[in-house]
Structure 1
Amino acid sequence: MWSEPFQDKEGNTKYRFYERYVDPMSGKRKRTSVVMNKDTRPSQKEAQRLLNERIEKKVKTSTSHAPGLDDLTFHQMAHEWFERYQLTSGSKRGTMKEKRSKLNGIYRAFDADILFKNLNTRIIQDFIDDLHHREMSRGSITGYLSVIKFIIKFGEKNYHIKSNVAVHDIEVPVKVKTIEEIKSKRNNYLEMDEVKKILEYIDYKIKNNKRPDIKRNLQMMRYIIEFQVLNGMRISELLAIQNHNVNLDNKKLEIDGSIIWEKSDEGFGIKDTTKTEKSYRVIDLTDRSCEILRKAMLDNKKEAMWSDRFQDKQYVFTSVAGTPLFKEKVNVLLKEAAEWCGIDKKITSHTLRHTHISLLAQLGGSLKAIMERVGHTDHKTTLRIYTHVTQQMNKDLMNKLEKVSI
């Protein structure tokens, strides 16, 4: 340590004490300093203490980002990656929630003390295979692998730790689909007579239920089911519809968001942006669709006026509390209705979206027009339903032609 006198702005003599140290990151010699009012023995002792503290802090900060760090765990690296991801990805709230969910699953699967440097391809492949054996969907497994790849890339870029994981060699197992699964996916839509049976069952439930709150929720779910069949949006998009999105005079509907199921200060269900940029759209409405919207909005006005429980957040398809209806309630009702009606299909709210696509195909809508109406960016799903329906139409046409006699 050494000192040098200098004059401050007021002309007072002060002393700057220096000490050198080696930066472990670069290997270069550097120096740091502190200022004292005097150059006495006590001042020198205090200056040395302060300099040692500064050097220790600088070395610690440097080594925490040093190449080849040995004691950094996979959990710590994952946590740091997600902190950075939240700041820099620009992802929508729903995507952030999905990544957080995958990260929590990774935390549970890997020991907290496993070192990042000790990860290897076999460990990651075993984790992926285990997800497959638990019959997780291929899409979900791919989501887990994507997060792991992000973490490894983050570690290599920010800490210069050469990973032992060959991410490109990790494979997501493919489940062989049965003929029943293939048929189920191809036929994942309802015929109009099946839709009518489901709505008739719900009408029966509404008529025979005596509790006003349950009757109201059932009626709102009936609106949702019919509206989705008529317009084909995702259930999260439908539940995000607010009064300002509806233009009844011009028979237009703006689809500008989707509901994610998180709790906020305003209640359960938060409106996020649409799934993709293509998903934002304005669609035309039929007279019946306008009638459904008008009835739902009128019912909300009545609830807001007479019920203390109802908090008007301007959503159209609401529960008795004024929040968007939980989509799983719709799925449970659809399953119950299908069983009661003898419909041997696995029906969810997404089936209703596919039903709308099949309806448009039967009506002769072009593939491009259908994709724009339902907000599809990838033509594969639309084309699968479109092709199947048109093939069925051709088959029906040939059956009718066979009956023609001259």
Structure 2
Amino acid sequence: MWVEDLPNGKYKFVEWYSNEKNGKRKRVSVTLNSKSAQAKNKAQQLLNNKIAKKKTSIETKNLKFKDCFTEFFEFKTKRWAPSTTENMRSTYNVYIKTADLYDYYLDKITILDIQKLLDDIQYEQNKCAQITNRVKLLISGCFKYMSVYHDYTYNLEFSTLKVKPIKKRKSIQFIDSKDLPGELAKIRQELNEIQGDLIEVMILTGMRFGEVTALTIDDFNGSEITINKSIDSRSKRKAGTTKTPHSNRVIQTNDRINELINKNISLNRLRFGNEARLIFANRNNNPMLLTPINDKIKKVNKDYTSHTMRHTHISLLVENNFDIKYIMDRVGHADVKTTLEIYTHITKKQKEEAKVKLNKLVTF
């Protein structure tokens, strides 16, 4: 380390180091107000930290975006849920891998290059905002990954990128509590008995279809259900991780849930003997498929899906004044948005009903 006097009265402490990846010598420096023994010790420590950080970074000057993205994508696929990985892989192959900037040098990519790609997707190809946002998320995620894990500095303001607003989705569908007995009876008429039991358990627990079809006898202890896996329809009905880490949870059951689960466990033992593991199994002792069940549910109401049952459970909890935090924990919501949307709808209905009751309090 050596010290250089600066015109402004400060002191630059400089040190050489060798880049382990290419053998080239480089230098780092820090500027301090003093060159005392204490300042030198501090400077040496700062320089050592800089050198250590530089040695863990990669040379990005001649690195292409595609090389960085390959590493980033491999890193993320180990952490995403299988369904997310498939969605992102499809987006990557169709929209990013075919883009001009895929072959650009990383440090030559501008925010305009990215905006042009997004505009091509949303205006020329007329794709939805969800796809465009996914492309934006992947590209920005790659740069952030390089920044965190390879000390790469970039000056791209991803917040300035323009994406068409997402079309407002339909209001969340759920079955009103007063209609529920009749609607469940209609749904059961369209389904076989086991499918009907599965749907009722979804209404009583708020589990996602993939979660309830993944349940095994080991996940039920008589009073609680442990939810730690989900069936992904795109992976040949194999059990994988839940939708998000927050989806892993333990929920309480009630007498009706216990009755339905114990009934199906007993039935499966008669059907499959020692091979019986699933709680809700088809005739081949495999997890049930979503599409045939959804098709039958839609015969009752074209807007119904299996997810309607999950939202119905949330609405029942709201109506019965369960705390929002409890509801989120029970259904595995990391984001309060869906919970609040149902909560707002239910409380609005309750206020309207209260108004009617207030008008009938007394007559003079």
Q: TM-score, structure 2 length as denominator? A: 0.71
For 2:240 and 2:200, the matched residues in 1 are separated by: 22
> What letter is aligned with 1:290?
N
The answer on 1:245 being equivalent to 2:219 is: yes
> What letter is aligned with 2:200?
E
1:3-402 matched pairs, under 5 angstroms: 25-27=22-24, 66-69=59-62, 73-86=64-77, 90-107=79-96, 109-110=98-99, 114-117=103-106, 119-132=109-122, 134=126, 136-138=128-130, 141-154=132-145, 166-175=157-166, 177=168, 181=169, 184-185=170-171, 187-206=172-191, 218-248=192-222, 251-263=223-235, 268-273=237-242, 275-277=244-246, 279-305=247-273, 312=275, 314-339=277-302, 346-402=303-359
The answer to whether the 8 Å contact 2:60/2:152 transfers is yes
Deviation of 1:96 (Å): 4.0
> What letter is aligned with 2:304?
I
The answer to whether the 8 Å contact 2:269/2:276 transfers is no
Q: TM-score, structure 1 length as denominator? A: 0.65
The answer to whether the 8 Å contact 2:264/2:280 transfers is yes
For 1:388 and 1:85, the matched residues in 2 are separated by: 37
> What letter is aligned with 2:117?
F
**Residues paired across the two proteins, number:** 311
> What letter is aligned with 1:283?
I
Deviation of 1:352 (Å): 1.5
Quickly say closer, same or farther: Cα 1:371–1:257, change in 2 above 3 A.
same
For 2:350 and 2:166, the matched residues in 1 are separated by: 31
The answer to whether the 8 Å contact 2:206/2:310 transfers is yes
After superposition, what is the alpha-carbon deviation per residue over 1:133-184, rounded to whole angstroms, capped at 9, x for unaligned? Answer: 545354x54333222113234556788887685434223331464xxx5xx4
Deviation of 1:356 (Å): 0.9
Deviation of 1:374 (Å): 1.8
Q: Give the aligned partner of residue 7 of structure 2.
A: none
The answer to whether the 8 Å contact 1:358/1:385 transfers is yes
For 1:81 and 1:314, the matched residues in 2 are separated by: 38
Quickly say closer, same or farther: Cα 1:331–1:73, change in 2 above 3 A.
farther
Gaps of 5+ in 2: 1-19, 26-57
Deviation of 1:280 (Å): 2.7
Deviation of 1:256 (Å): 2.1
> What letter is aligned with 1:103?
Y
Quickly say closer, same or farther: Cα 1:144–1:320, change in 2 above 3 A.
farther
For 1:349 and 1:148, the matched residues in 2 are separated by: 33
For 1:159 and 1:25, the matched residues in 2 are separated by: 15
Identity of matched residues, %: 26
For 1:287 and 1:168, the matched residues in 2 are separated by: 51
The answer to whether the 8 Å contact 2:129/2:164 transfers is no
Quickly say closer, same or farther: Cα 1:75–1:195, change in 2 above 3 A.
farther
For 1:73 and 1:90, the matched residues in 2 are separated by: 24
For 2:352 and 2:341, the matched residues in 1 are separated by: 17
Secondary structure at the aligned position of 1:364 is classed as coil
Deviation of 1:378 (Å): 2.7
Deviation of 1:85 (Å): 4.1
Gaps of 5+ in 1: 1-22, 29-64, 207-217, 306-310, 340-345
> What letter is aligned with 2:211?
E
Which structure has the larger Rg over C-alpha atoms?
1
For 2:148 and 2:326, the matched residues in 1 are separated by: 44
For 2:216 and 2:68, the matched residues in 1 are separated by: 41
Quickly say closer, same or farther: Cα 1:122–1:335, change in 2 above 3 A.
farther
For 1:102 and 1:154, the matched residues in 2 are separated by: 18
> What letter is aligned with 1:295?
K
